[in-house]
Structure 1
Amino acid sequence: MREKSSGTSSLKVNADIFAAFFRVGMLGFGGGPSAIPLFHTEAVKKYKWMTDDEFGDTLALGNTMPGPIATKMAGYIGYRVNGIIGSIVALVAVTVPTVLLMILLLGALQQFKGLEWVNNMSAAVVPVVGVMLAVMTWDFLKKSGQSLGWARAVLFVLIAAVLMEVLNVHPVFLIIAILLISLLSFKKGGAS
């Protein structure tokens, strides 16, 4: 879906990439997971750089690799839209302003950390991030229900919840197991 244009339209594409990922970087309170709904809004809904399914695949693959999800998503989507230059623009937009703002805001918060309104402001962000993550989770659960069937999707969610929350299995082991099961299932299905 890369744009094959030059001049003004290439500049416009890079400006759109910068604007999209700048918004994600500046509004993604709480780190990478809370930024995922913002990535979805920009890449799928606003600019239509990818479909819901492509976004889900990108997110799933990004979660299997080490490193922060925000930079992986920005780098890949930027590359997909406008090659290496798009990737660089997206990475700069999602990281540099956030780093600068973090330095400034953490300095200010340290000075005023005893004030009640500062503590209330920090606490107010938590429910908003929770709702954003819940909406994204529901969207992915609906897609899983449509592709796997609701019984299997709910069963997988319950198994994952028990493994991670009750048995304290690290999510990376769960992801690796799912990848291996999927690959083995694909090989069996492809061979017949």
Structure 2
Amino acid sequence: MKQWHIFIAFFRSGMLGYGGGPSSIPLVHKEVVERFKWLTDDEFSDVLALGNTLPGPINTKMAGYIGYRVGGVLGMLNAIFASIMPTILLMIVILTTLTQFKDNPVIQGMTKAVVPVVGVMLAVLTWDFFKNSKKGLGLLPAIILVVASLLLIEMLGLHPGILIGVLLAAAFFKKDKQPEKGGESA
């Protein structure tokens, strides 16, 4: 019965949480704190804070942790499946519908209208990343990194995932060359 309750709790929040993670958080809270009492308010706040520090959809991360805590590995898998199943079903319906009407001029116009919007959104995101890297690295290293990345991806055909992985590993293993503050005194 516990696995069924885990499924229902996260299926409801996944199904009713229209608008992404922020809209599903209150629904998850209602299920796991108020209805099933698996967590206290403080524990839920801790899970939410931890989930916000990790990449990915917040509802899925919270489902995985809470499902594991309540029902072990099976509970984790159950909760994750329940939280993503509504989205999967909706995508199947939407893609099937769009495929049936792909030759319709209205659908083709809608598809063409989305491309520039996505392009602008990606350009804004790229500019924000560049501004943040400029603050962290400095202007010249940020420009060098952008140009080198562009050349590696466009000229040499390097997959962006490989470049991102290498840069993350380099950042992780980079040694801080500044001396520790509050070190030895004379």
Query: Could you state the TM-score of these two structures normalised by the residue count of structure 1?
Result: 0.53
Give yes or no for contact 1:74–1:91 (8 Å, CA) kept in 2. Answer: no
Tell me which protein shows more helix as a share of its residues. Answer: 1
Q: 2:89 aligns to what?
A: 100
Q: Tell me whether 1:172 sits opposite 2:161 in the alignment.
A: yes
Q: Following TM superposition, by how much is the alpha carbon of 1:179 offset from its aligned partner in structure 2, in angstroms?
A: 3.0
Q: Tell me whether 1:183 sits opposite 2:183 in the alignment.
A: no
Give yes or no for contact 1:78–1:90 (8 Å, CA) kept in 2. Answer: yes
Give yes or no for contact 1:112–1:118 (8 Å, CA) kept in 2. Answer: yes
Query: Could you state the TM-score of these two structures normalised by the residue count of structure 2?
Result: 0.55
Aligned alpha-carbon RMSD (Å): 4.2
Q: 1:117 aligns to what?
A: 106
Runs (4+) of structure 1 exceeding 4 A deviation are: 17-21, 77-80, 82-85, 87-93, 187-192
Point out which structure has higher relative CO (alpha carbons under 8 A, 6+ apart): 1
Q: Tell me whether 1:150 sits opposite 2:139 in the alignment.
A: yes
Q: Following TM superposition, by how much is the alpha carbon of 1:182 offset from its aligned partner in structure 2, in angstroms?
A: 2.2
Change (3 A) 1:140 1:101: same
Could you tell me which of 52, 64, 75 is aligned with 2:60? 75
Q: Following TM superposition, by how much is the alpha carbon of 1:175 offset from its aligned partner in structure 2, in angstroms?
A: 2.5
Q: 2:4 aligns to what?
A: none
Identical-pair percentage: 32
Q: Which one-letter code corresponds to 2:134 in the other structure?
A: G
The number of residues matched between the two structures is 144
Q: 1:7 aligns to what?
A: none
Structure 1: gaps spanning 5 or more residues:
1-13, 25-38, 44-48, 60-68
Name which one, 1 or 2, has greater alpha-carbon Rg.
2
Change (3 A) 1:187 1:180: farther
Structure 1 Cα separation of the partners of residues 92 and 146 of structure 2: 38
Deviations 1:50-73 (A, max 9, x none): 7xxx76xx44xxxxxxxxx55xx6
Structure 2 Cα separation of the partners of residues 151 and 20 of structure 1: 47
Q: Following TM superposition, by how much is the alpha carbon of 1:110 offset from its aligned partner in structure 2, in angstroms?
A: 2.9
